[in-house]
Amino acid sequence: MKVANHVILTVLFTFGVIQACLCQSPCDPNGIHASCTDQNPYGITYASGTSGDASSFLGANSSLYGYGCLGSLPAPAYYYMKISSPGDLLIHIQQYDNTGTGLDVDFACWGPFNASSQQDFITKLCNGTYQLTGALSDYDWSTYTSHCPSYGYHDANDASTWGGYPIGNLVDCSYDASEEEWCYIPNAQIGQFYLLVLTNYSEELGTITFSNSGGTAKTDCSLLAPINNNGPLCEGETLELACENYQIGATYHWTGPNGWSANTQYVTIPNATVSMSGSYSCTMSYNGETDVQTTTVVINAQPTITITPPVANLCNGDNVTLTASGADTYVWNTGETTASITVTPSAESVYTVTGTTAAGCVGTNSAVAMSSDNIIYTLPDVVCEGSPITVQPNNPTSTYVWDNGSTGASINPDVTVSTLLTVTVTDANGCVGTASVTVNPKPNAGFEPDNYFVEIEDGSATINFIDQSEGADQWWWNFADSHSESNTSEEASPSHIYTYSGYYNVKQTVANEYNCRDSVTRLIRITSPFHLYIPSAFTPGKTDGLNDLFAPVGIGVSPENYEMVIYNQWGQIVFKTTELFAPWDGYFQGKLAPLGVYVYRLSLQNLDEEAKIFVGTVTLVK
């Protein structure tokens, strides 16, 4: 909140002079007035009391015994002040008539009192909240002494120069027969109120002056302003409007921008906005008279602070310059006070700047700078040609460039000699890392059998395998022969003997000096022997036993799924059998079949369970 800016206006009903008062009490209408000891910006003068007695306020006994050091309380004038700067305060009080002739003035001063406003102070003073020390009926008269040192001398470090005061809340008191007095208030604090009762023994019309003649404390002269506000303010702060002329029974009516109005002496408006700027008027009505005063309110917009860049992703050890804009001065949470700062974060860090405009309005913003640890990229130490290579970690937002010209996180390089490959990885933050791998060439497996199709003869079949590999110096063979105890070999070009028919996937695996390997498989077939003879003619019905039956003969024929069917020329089945090699004797329906040509259809399987069909003719000869 800013220092209050008060408009110089005339106090209602005073017209620049606080009028002489016939008041007996500060609680009477127009019975007490604000004062200050510093330069008076409002041209206010302070009138002396001219009649009455303060005993009606201080108590009936005070008319008999006085109050504090004052033995009598004639023609009182009541003033109060509020501390605006802390410290000791020496007030020089003078009283003169209108010709400049001095009038005897005496005083008593009480405090400090805490109050939220002038109205609050006067209300508490009049409702008994504040109890004033110094009733002589309750204390020894000798306790209270006059205190009028020569030329107002007080030593802040020597309490013996203070005249024995303060006593309770009676801060100082003097009844010296002089037109001037000095009131000393030690250790005054901001916001405290003090009450002064000044007596005028002559009861002549006079003027009182207050001035600061020593100490560091100051009093708040804004209390003299007719109306004021606490601006200029910044948007979001609380606007306070005050009419400082409090009179019992007075009414107050405020108006302001955007149709705003209020009906209290003091107004508080939280969360002020720029639209509330402008002229505010207060109409005070008292004893049938009305006066209108105005004050100008200024509400400044809060600055919008921006930081460029708002987010910075850095590599470990890198720095970034953050630049704030939108205000006039800046304070960073690093302690720096320039618009731009250069930082080198070691981890994710938040940098907050507070910007202040020339009007004193404040805004904040933050930027985040993240330092990425240098990522360690890994590859296998050694791979063989033909094996896929993938960099870890593999991030799709990173770029990968290999020194062989390849790109991408994964490659499958071809080499002819042992080669060192290096990949350079750049991540999304521009951080760079590398990794390397040695790629060794691999051999090329290859072989040929001397025969892919071999029939078992005399219980076995031998195949020779001819090595055709390149770059190999080690060989491993698997002949896929589960029936053999010598199913493998490490020769370059081995042979193998098969004893069972079937299909065999023969595999060759080769390796080179780098232990890189390759393999290849070839399919070979081993078959059982198969031979079949089918006669073309026979002579049934003879008894010599020669060629009198028709039947195929052979080896390697399975008795399973065997069938022979013989048809005559009209398509009739004259013979059918499923018994292996069962003959037709030439008879049909109990009679020797006619001479002629017959068709046979022979279905069978060899011992390898391969189906075979033979169709032909046989001649029946008599």
Chain segment 469-511, per-residue pLDDT in tens: 999 999 999 999 999 999 999 999 999 999 999 999 999 999 9
Tens of pLDDT, residue by residue over 219-228, are 988 777 678 8
Closest CA to 563 of 504, 615, 619, 521: 615
Amino acid symbol at 619: T
CB 93 within 8 A of CB 209: yes
Residues 6 or more apart whose Cβ sits within 8 Å of residue 459: 499
Mean pLDDT over residues 590-602, rounded? Answer: 95
Q: Residue 222: its pLDDT value, please?
A: 73
| Cα–Cα distance measured from residue 475 to residue 306, given in angstroms and rounded to the nearest whole number | 72
Check residue 592 and give its pLDDT: 93
- Please state which of the ranges 51-65, 295-309, 363-377 shows the lowest mean pLDDT: 51-65
Within 8 A by CB and 6+ apart from 176, the residues are: 106, 146, 148
Can you tell me which residue has the tokens 């208030």? Answer: 185
The mean per-residue pLDDT over the stretch 83-98 comes to 93
Alpha-carbon distance of 137 to 58, in angstroms, equals 12
Rama region for 128: left / alpha / beta (φ>0; ψ in -120 to 50; rest): left
Is the per-residue pLDDT at 14 higher than 60?
no
Confidence of residue 247 (pLDDT cuts 50, 70, 90): low
Per-residue pLDDT band at 17 (split at 50, 70, 90):
very low
Percent of the chain with pLDDT over 90: 62
pLDDT for res 482 = 93
Q: What pLDDT does residue 445 have?
A: 96
Residue 437 pLDDT more than 70? yes
pLDDT of residue 448: 97
- Inform me whether the pLDDT recorded for 399 exceeds 90: yes
Q: Is the pLDDT of residue 513 over 70?
A: yes
Residue 431 has pLDDT above 90, yes or no: no
More reliable by pLDDT, 417 or 27: 417
Tokens coding 170: 């009676």
Other beta carbons less than 10 A from residue 382's beta carbon? 15
Instruction: List, for residues 197-220, the tens digit of each pLDDT value.
Output: 999 999 999 999 999 888 999 998
> Angle CA(284)–CA(285)–CA(288) in degrees, nearest 5?
155
Tell me the two tokens of residue 212: 């600061």
Q: Beta 233-234 vs 299-300: how paired, if at all?
A: parallel
Cis bond before residue 309 (omega within 30° of 0):
yes
Phi, psi angle pair for 58, to nearest 5°? -85, -15
Instruction: Give 315 or 332, the one with higher predicted confidence.
Output: 332
| pLDDT tops 80 at residue 139 | no
Average pLDDT of 74-78?
92
pLDDT of residue 561: 94
Find the mean pLDDT for residues 102-130. 91
Is residue 88 predicted with pLDDT exceeding 60? Answer: yes
- Of 552, 565, 475, 584, nearest to 519 by C-alpha is 475
pLDDT of residue 111: 95
More confidently predicted of 71 and 244: 71
Task: Identify the pLDDT of residue 162.
Answer: 85
Going by pLDDT thresholds of 50, 70 and 90, the confidence category of residue 15 is very low
In this structure, of 49-53, 153-157, 393-397, the range with the lowest mean pLDDT score is 153-157
Q: What is the DSSP letter of 36?
A: -
Q: Whole-angstrom Cα distance, residue 72 to residue 66? A: 5
| Residue 138 pLDDT exceeds 60 | no
Q: 61 pLDDT band (50/70/90 cuts)? A: low
Cβ atoms of 124 and 50 within 8 Å: the answer is no
57 φ/ψ angles, rounded to the nearest 5 degrees? -100, -40
CA–CA separation, 296 and 232 (whole Å): 9
Average pLDDT rounded to a whole number, residues 269-292: 89
Contacts of 596 (CB under 8 A, 6+ apart): 568, 569, 619, 620
**What pLDDT, on the 0 to 100 scale, is given for residue 4?**
30
Name the more confident of 390 and 140. 390
How confident is residue 242, by pLDDT bands cut at 50, 70 and 90?
confident
Between CA 129 and CA 219 the distance in angstroms is 23
Is the pLDDT assigned to residue 133 strictly greater than 70? yes
Give the per-residue pLDDT at 18: 47
Q: Which residue, 220, 225, 227, is CA-closest to 265?
A: 227
Instruction: Read off the pLDDT of each residue in 111-134 and give the average, rounded to a whole number.
Output: 89
* Statement: residue 71 has pLDDT above 90: no
Neighbours of 162 (CB within 10 A): 17
List the Cα angle 326/327/333 in 5-degree steps: 100
Q: Taking residues 376-405, what's their average pLDDT?
A: 91
Residue 143's pLDDT is what? 63
What does the mean pLDDT of the chain come to? 88
Question: What's residue 452's pLDDT?
Answer: 96
How far apart CA 489 and CA 480 sit, in angstroms, is 11
From residue 180, alpha-carbon distances to 20, 162, 177, 439, 575 in Å are 19, 17, 9, 107, 164
Residues 81/35, Cβ–Cβ less than 8 Å: yes
First to last CA, the chain: 141
Chain-centroid distance of CA 480 in Å reads: 65
**Max CA-CA distance within the chain?**
189
Residue 119 to residues 26, 131, 218, 246, 372, Cα–Cα distance (Å): 12, 17, 21, 6, 62
The residues pairing with 86 across neighbouring beta strands, listed in sequence order, are: none
Q: For the residues 383-410, what does the mean pLDDT come to?
A: 92
Query: What pLDDT band is residue 142 in, cutting at 50, 70 and 90?
Result: low
Q: Specify which residues 286 forms β-bridges with.
A: 289
Q: What are phi and psi of 64, to 5 degrees?
A: -95, -40
Choose among 341, 390, 349, 400: nearest CA to 372: 349
E strands along 316-361, which residues? Answer: 320-325, 329-332, 340-343, 349-356
CA distance 588 to 573: 9
pLDDT band (50, 70, 90) for residue 518 = very high
Share of the chain above pLDDT 70, in %: 91
pTM for the complete prediction?
0.44
User: What is the pLDDT at residue 315?
Assistant: 81
pLDDT of residue 428: 81
Res 10: pLDDT: 31
Residue 196 has pLDDT above 50, yes or no: yes
Average pLDDT over residues 304-312: 93
